Amino acid sequence: MGRPRGFDEEAVTRQAVALFSARAYDGLSVDDLVTGLGVHRNSLYKTFGSKRGLYLTVLRWYLRHKLEPALSSDTAQLQENDTLDLLLLAAAEQAPHDREVGALVGSALARLDDVLGPDAANQLLGLRLRARINTGE
Amino acid sequence: MGRPRGFDEEAVTRQAVALFSARAYDGLSVDDLVTGLGVHRNSLYKTFGSKRGLYLTVLRWYLRHKLEPALSSDTAQLQENDTLDLLLLAAAEQAPHDREVGALVGSALARLDDVLGPDAANQLLGLRLRARINTGE
DNA sequence: CGCGTTTGAGAACAAACGTTCTTGACTGGT
DNA sequence: ACCAGTCAAGAACGTTTGTTCTCAAACGCG
Q: Give every CB contact of residue A49 below 8 A, 6+ residues apart in sequence.
A: none
**CB-CB: which of B105, B121, B135 is closest to A96?**
B135
- A137 pLDDT exceeds 70? no
Domains of chain B (ranges, CATH numbers): 9-135 (1.10.357.10)
Task: Note the pLDDT tens digit of each residue in B56-89.
Answer: 999 999 999 999 999 999 888 988 878 999 999 9
Whether residue A2 lies within 8 A of chain B, CB to CB, comes out as no
Q: What is the spatial distance, in angstroms and rounded to an integer, between the CA atom of A5 and the C1' atom of D2?
A: 22
Residues of A in contact with B95 (CB under 8 A): 132-133
pTM for the structure as a whole: 0.95
Q: Is the CB of A136 under 7 A from strand D?
A: no
pLDDT at B105: 98
CA B37 to centroid of chain Cα atoms: 15
Task: Note the pLDDT tens digit of each residue in A16-30.
Answer: 999 999 999 999 999
Which whole number is the average pLDDT over B98-113? 97
The residue among A30, A88, A119, A129 with the most chain B CBs within 10 A of its CB, best to mutate, is A129
Q: Is the CB of B136 under 7 A from strand C?
A: no
pLDDT at B137: 56
Contact A126 B125 (CB under 8 A): yes
CA A48 to centroid of chain Cα atoms: 15
Instruction: Please state, as a whole number, how many other Cβ atoms lie within 10 Å of the Cβ of residue B8.
Output: 10
The residue whose CA lies nearest the C1' of nucleotide D7 is A3
Tell me which amino acid residue A14 is. Answer: R
Report d(CA B123, CA A127) in Å as an integer.
10
For residues A66 and A59, the answer to whether their CB atoms sit within 8 Å is no
Task: Note the pLDDT tens digit of each residue in B35-57.
Answer: 999 999 999 999 999 999 999 99
Residues of B in contact with A105 (CB under 8 A): 133
pLDDT at B52: 98
Whether residue A135 lies within 8 A of chain B, CB to CB, comes out as yes
Contact A92 B89 (CB under 8 A): yes
Contact B126 A127 (CB under 8 A): no
Q: What is the spatial distance, in angstroms and rounded to an integer, between the CA atom of B119 and the C1' atom of C17?
A: 42
DSSP A4: P
